[in-house]
């Protein structure tokens, strides 16, 4: 059971910025030495504020960008795309679902072609078989066969995200990287998509790396949680550990920043406001 699908060791990524005529180029350390292990069938949630390196980490795991230093293992096999390139087998092991379902589907491609494209590229299945598989996947993510020949603009955001998930699953990946997959959807649709993801995980034995800044979503879906802050993993542990006993100061701030909608918390917030209100106005600073 404890088969490790994904492992990173001190993985880093630097970006070189600028270097103009008069300015010196700067180096931005987007991800600074992140290490973790992820077992098959588990979900790792990566949380943090915007610009903390979550998406950069996702791009490295998905093998879109090569890490500047550090090691990446997928299924115990060392991956180094900057040196060895990328084999089709490796390619099909990791797939990604993007945040914005309105941008991640080609507007000129029918849904059926979207789903069959990975098979056309990576396998030599006959056309009829490809179509059957795409059709099966379409029904599996909760869409109907008649959607097969429609264009993406004819779908709602939630449906589009289902299509994006179906596309990612066409190659039977081991690992699915979900880059804020529900952030662009409204709440009821978020729940549907999250449930779909949970069902698919059980059915295919998928491993998820789930990137989010929504802690309620993370609490719902994650087995393990990693908190990132300015490129570093400041907290890493199981969901229970992290949520019940956050060790790092930033994690506590993050949890405290989550809006709560219970009557007590609203009352407490109002009380704080009333206390603050009589304070004398600040003089304007020049």
Partner 1 sequence: MVTNAKEADAAIGLEGGPAVDATRRAMLYEFWYYFRQNRGAVLGLCIFLLIVLVAIFAPLIAPHSPSAQVRGSFLVPPVWQAGGSWDFILGTDAVGRDILSRLIYGARFSLFVGLVVVTLSVISGVIIGLIAGYFRGTVDTIIMRLMDIILAFPSLLLALVLVAVLGPGLFNAMIAIALVLQPHFVRLTRAAVMAEKGRDYVMAAKVAGAGNIRLMFKTILPNCTAPLIVQGTLSFSTAILEAAALGFLGMGAQPPTPEWGTMLAEAREFILRAWWVVTFPGLAILITVLAINLVGDGLRDALDPKLKRS
Interface residues toward partner 1, by CB under 8 A = 62, 64, 88, 91-92, 95-96, 98-100, 103-109, 112, 117-118, 121-122, 131, 135, 145-146, 148-151, 154, 164, 167, 171
Nearest distance, CB of residue 77 and partner 1, angstroms: 18
Tokens 């529900």 — which residue? Answer: 182
DSSP class of residue 185?
Answer: S
Nearest distance, CB of residue 232 and partner 1, angstroms: 26
CA angle 248, 253, 258 (to 5 degrees): 130
Nearest distance, CB of residue 195 and partner 1, angstroms: 23
43/95 with CB nearer partner 1 = 95
97/254 with CB nearer partner 1 = 97
Nearest distance, CB of residue 170 and partner 1, angstroms: 8
1/128 with CB nearer partner 1 = 128
DSSP class of residue 153?
Answer: G
167/227 with CB nearer partner 1 = 167
CA angle 151, 140, 138 (to 5 degrees): 20
CA angle 267, 271, 276 (to 5 degrees): 150
Nearest distance, CB of residue 132 and partner 1, angstroms: 12
48/112 with CB nearer partner 1 = 112
**Rg of the chain (C-alpha set):** 22
85/263 with CB nearer partner 1 = 85
Nearest distance, CB of residue 171 and partner 1, angstroms: 7
Residue 191: phi, psi to the nearest 5?
Answer: -60, -45
Stretch (H or E) spanning 207:
strand 207-212
3-state SS, residue 28: strand
Alpha-carbon distances, residue 90 vs 73, 79, 119, 142, 213 (angstroms): 11, 9, 15, 28, 29
């Amino acid at each position: 059971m404890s088969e490790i699908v994904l492992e990173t060791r001190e993985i880093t990524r630097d970006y070189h910025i600028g270097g103009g005529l008069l300015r010196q180029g700067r180096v931005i350390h987007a991800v600074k030495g992140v290490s973790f292990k992820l077992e098959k069938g588990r979900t790792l949630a990566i949380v943090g504020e915007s610009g903390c390196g979550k998406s950069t980490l996702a791009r490295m795991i998905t093998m879109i960008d090569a890490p500047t230093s550090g090691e990446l293992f997928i299924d115990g096999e060392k991956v180094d795309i900057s040196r060895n390139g990328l084999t089709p087998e490796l390619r099909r092991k990791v797939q990604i679902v993007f945040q914005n379902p309105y941008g991640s589907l080609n507007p000129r491609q029918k849904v059926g072609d979207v789903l069959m494209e990975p098979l056309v590229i990576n396998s030599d299945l006959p056309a009829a078989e490809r179509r059957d598989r795409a059709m099966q996947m379409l029904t599996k993510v909760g869409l109907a066969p008649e959607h097969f020949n429609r264009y993406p603009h004819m779908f709602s955001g939630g449906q589009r995200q289902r299509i994006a998930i179906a596309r990612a699953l066409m190659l039977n990946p081991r690992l699915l990287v979900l880059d804020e997959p529900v952030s662009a959807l409204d709440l009821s649709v978020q729940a549907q998509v999250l449930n779909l993801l949970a069902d698919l995980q059980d059915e295919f034995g998928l491993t998820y790396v789930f990137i989010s800044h929504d802690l309620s979503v993370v609490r719902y879906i994650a087995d393990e949680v990693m908190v990132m802050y300015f490129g570093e993993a400041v907290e890493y542990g199981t969901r229970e550990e992290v949520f019940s006993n956050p060790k790092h100061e930033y994690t506590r701030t993050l949890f405290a920043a989550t809006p709560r909608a219970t009557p007590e918390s609203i009352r407490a917030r109002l009380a704080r406001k009333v206390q603050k209100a009589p304070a004398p106005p600040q003089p304007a600073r020049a």
